[in-house]
Amino acid sequence: MPLPAGGGTWPPKQHEPILAHYNTLNTWYEGDPDALAALYGDPTATGQRPTNRPAQYRGGLVGWTARKFWGDPTPDGEKRRKLHVPVASDIATMSADLLFSEPPAITVENTTTQARIDEMIPALQATLLRNAEVGAALGGYYLRAVWDKEMAPGPWLDGVDADTAIPEWRWGKLHAVTFWRVVEQQDSTWLYHLERHEPGWILHGLYRGSMSDLGTSIALTEHPETAKLLPAIKTELTRCTARYIPNMYPNRTWRRVPAGANLGRSDFDGPVMDLFDRLDMVWTSWMRDIYLGRARLIVPRDYLQNQGPGKGSAFDLDREIYEAVDGLFNGDRLEISAQQFAIRVVEHRDTQAEILAAILRATGYSAQSFGLSGDVAVTATEVSAKERRSLTTRGKKGLYTTPELAAAIEMLLQLESSMFRTGVVPELPTIALADSVSPDIMQLAQTAHLMRQAEAASDETLVRMLHPDWDETEVQAEVDRIGDARPDPVVDPLGLPMTGGGPGEPAEGEQPVEEE
């Protein structure tokens, strides 16, 4: 299927609800208070003078949706003092760290291919770490094959966010995808760059349109960012040169919508965003108590010092001597009184802790992962026990990630073989995500010592237990070194051969001793 000839709504109309949902997820992920206010309240909110929407004063579902904490009407004459707790971005970062904080083990049988994979792992890990974080917020991300001989001699895998892609599915698998971006925006004129990946081809197009209209197709050379791109590139592959990496399944929001049924589920889906909203409300209320609870002195007007016309009056706390002040005629005393409102620390802290616990339960993470547990885990076993829920979520995400990642690497190897003639043999790799909880080396050493004393494990078994990331060659080399370093067994000098008969009988080869 070729790129659009031009004209028509962009993005396509059937994807508008999905992209609007992506915008909501992304706003919570970014955590900008002005963007949150614009999302639920005033579209032009700047943090100085929000304008309330009529929908905020309505009843029913429309009014309830608009009257979230971030959509509450701001009283006239007041500034918006709402605060945001960046829990959403923390959750997305935690998800990426659990998956790719350590490089994954990617192995193939061909040694030349393995060397090529080892070469690409550092850059690939950085790409995966970055895109897995955004993918946790949006529900998934894409990996596409790109190349630029001015940058590198061969192709590499590049990540693309889900909110800049229009995917096409066949039987639940990604068949083709069109990535899009705005390369220039001047007033009402927008320049769109569309990049389509489909089996056998990569297509590029440049369009001049408006915010919601793709407009007319123009030459790629009319903009410097697309000037060096070819309109059509034949990949010689029977598969698409892009893969979709889901965050998790199923997608509860879009499972009945054909355009989004195969998209992954965001960590923020469901009622989690409502909990984010309430957490911000509690945090803002807590900080408001601190703001209002500042100690204030109430002093008679006669104690204030005039600062001049238009500058008001002030009370100097450091002043030691005051001029004589006449008493008031109504009999009131001239007193200085202090006032300080209570700061409800316990109530706010407990409420915030309960909301945060509900967020973590809904997203599938343990409080220990965010450093919220009071007890400090010492050993790796204790860490695993306290972070069991987080590790379970990590395992589920790994089940969806590793097959697509392996297919993306195989696709890249096929592209190198067909277009770049590098001699690399394409092969579907085996991928194992690194353990996010490092084992306690002292505990492992004690276990190995006890197993050796009990003669319950061989050298090879103990080496594999202490070094699970080593391959066959490294394990065998270490076993050989241990055997070479082990001293020869010592022969008992008092030991006598016992090859003869019973007591009193000469051993084999000995002459009997005659008695006199």
Residue scoring higher pLDDT (177 or 342)? 177
What is the Cα–Cα distance from 468 to 432, expressed in whole angstroms? 12
Residue with tokens 């005051």: 322
Instruction: Give per-residue pLDDT as tens, 382-421.
Output: 555 567 888 889 999 999 999 999 999 999 999 999 888 8
Q: 10 Å Cβ neighbour count for 307? A: 10
Residue scoring higher pLDDT (513 or 467)? 467
Q: What share of the chain is helix, strand, coil (3-state, %, to 5)?
A: 40, 15, 45
Mean pLDDT, the chain, integer:
82
**pLDDT band at residue 501 using 50, 70 and 90 as cut-offs:** low
For residue 224, pLDDT beyond 60: yes
Q: What is the pLDDT of residue 504?
A: 55
Phi-psi group of 509: left, alpha or beta (phi > 0 → left; psi -120 to 50 → alpha; rest → beta): left
**pLDDT band at residue 53 using 50, 70 and 90 as cut-offs:** very low
Q: How far is CA 432 from CA 26, 99, 108, 406, in A?
A: 30, 10, 12, 10
**pLDDT band at residue 65 using 50, 70 and 90 as cut-offs:** very low
Residue 195 has φ and ψ, to the nearest 5°, of -130, 115
Q: How far is CA 378 from CA 150, 369, 434, 441, in A?
A: 50, 14, 21, 12
Q: What is the pLDDT of residue 312?
A: 63
Q: What is the pLDDT of residue 47?
A: 43
**Choice among 57-66, 252-261, 327-336 with the minimum mean pLDDT:** 57-66
Of residues 248, 170, 261, 245, the one with CA closest to residue 404: 245
Provide, rounded to the nearest whole percent, the portion of the chain with pLDDT above 70: 74
Q: How far is CA 203 from CA 166, 226, 239, 304, 408, in A?
A: 14, 12, 14, 75, 19
Q: What is the pLDDT of residue 59?
A: 47
Mean pLDDT value of segment 208-226? 94
Strands (E), 295-421: 296-298, 305-306, 313-314, 337-339
For residue 15, pLDDT beyond 60: yes
For residue 324, pLDDT beyond 80: no
Mean pLDDT value of segment 184-199? 94
3-state secondary structure of 179: strand
**Choice among 107-111, 218-222, 413-417, 464-468 with the minimum mean pLDDT:** 464-468
Residue with tokens 């639920």: 40
Q: Are 413 and 116 in contact (CB under 8 A)?
A: yes
Kindly list the domain boundaries of the chain, sorted by start residue: 272-316+333-380, 439-483
Q: Are 369 and 303 in contact (CB under 8 A)?
A: no
Q: What is the pLDDT of residue 135?
A: 97
Mean pLDDT value of segment 506-511? 54
For residue 432, pLDDT beyond 60: yes
Strands (E), 350-490: 430-432
Q: What is the pLDDT of residue 43?
A: 45
Token output for 187: 């007033």
Cα angle at 79 between 78 and 84, to 5 degrees?
Answer: 135
For residue 110, give the H/E element and its range: none
Token output for 279: 């957490």
Token output for 94: 């935690």
Mean pLDDT value of segment 91-113? 93
Q: What is the pLDDT of residue 448?
A: 78
Q: Are 433 and 104 in contact (CB under 8 A)?
A: yes
Cβ-based neighbours of 226, under 8 Å, separated by 6 or more = 183, 193, 204, 206, 220
Residue 92, judged by CB atoms within 10 A of its CB (0-12, 13-18, 19+), counts as buried
Q: What is the pLDDT of residue 313?
A: 63
Provide, rounded to the nearest whole percent, the portion of the chain with pLDDT above 90: 49
For residue 77, pLDDT beyond 80: no
Q: Are 153 and 222 in contact (CB under 8 A)?
A: no
Q: How far is CA 148 from CA 154, 155, 194, 227, in A?
A: 8, 7, 18, 13
CA 307 to chain centre: 55
Q: Are 334 and 326 in contact (CB under 8 A)?
A: no
| Full 3-state SS string of 430-455 | EEECCCCCCCCHHHHHHHHHHHHHCC
For residue 515, pLDDT beyond 60: no
Q: What is the pLDDT of residue 495?
A: 62
Residue 431 has φ and ψ, to the nearest 5°, of -120, 130
What is the Cα–Cα distance from 362 to 369, expressed in whole angstroms? 15
Mean pLDDT value of segment 71-99? 85
Of residues 261, 252, 268, the one with CA closest to residue 27: 268
3-state secondary structure of 26: helix
What is the Cα–Cα distance from 118 to 495, expressed in whole angstroms? 56
**pLDDT band at residue 57 using 50, 70 and 90 as cut-offs:** very low
